[in-house]
Amino acid sequence: MAWGRRLKEAGSISEADDVLFLVPDEIRKAAIQFTHCNLKPIVENRRGQWLKWCRQDYPPVIATISMEEAMQMMIKSNDPIVLKVVVDSFPVPKTELKADLYGVPGSPGIAEGPARVVMNNDDLAQVKVDEILVATSIYPNWTPVFSLLKGVIVDRRASLSQAATVGREYNIPVVLNVFDGSKKIKTGQRVRVNGSMGAVHILDK
């Protein structure tokens, strides 16, 4: 909101809360150009879509497609906010870290512990204190489990996803977009999660 107030003063947006309709890359661009960046048309378009969605009634939906298919549908929308949440950026391997898996930083910090691979809701009951959760994705109903964890490794998700935001709330390291974490890591293996650098080391091989 502080950036929203600054961008409003610079004339880039009309109201401070318009910043909530922008993605980080757009805010950074405005911060560089500052008084020469007009983001009002972007905000107007997204706010209009949001207001339209708010006025509509959406019946409950029981989906018959997989999570991967749903993600592909969202990606094809080319909506920048959807892309930021679903995909974000792809990992850039930092070879000097000599990690076993490279991902995208989601929540800073470093932690070590035994891995717990969780593939569905039924596996959550097996999670123990101080374990490192490894999953293909993280869902909202998994949030209470974060209080037990020392860290999280996720195959696919972005910096605005559930895994990242909840990880920051609980102050535990999270590495996202490692792609093959749930395949390469086994439950019980000791792993090190570097949420600041986006790297994972498998200590038991």
Q: Where are the domains of the chain?
A: 2-62, 95-202
pLDDT at 61: 63
pLDDT at 109: 96
In a structure prediction context, what are the per-residue pLDDT tens digits for the chain, which is 205 residues long? 999 999 999 999 999 999 999 988 888 888 887 778 899 999 999 999 889 888 887 776 666 766 556 666 766 766 766 666 666 666 777 888 899 999 989 999 999 999 999 998 889 999 999 999 999 888 888 999 999 999 999 988 766 678 888 999 999 999 998 988 999 999 999 999 999 999 999 998 7
pLDDT at 32: 83
CATH of the domain spanning 95-202, picked from 2.30.110.10, 3.40.605.10, 3.40.50.2000, 3.50.30.10: 3.50.30.10
pLDDT at 197: 93
Residue 6 to residue 27: CA distance in whole angstroms = 11
Q: Edge-to-edge strand order for the sheet containing 104-107?
A: 101-102, 199-202, 190-194, 110-118, 132-135, 151-154, 174-176, 104-107
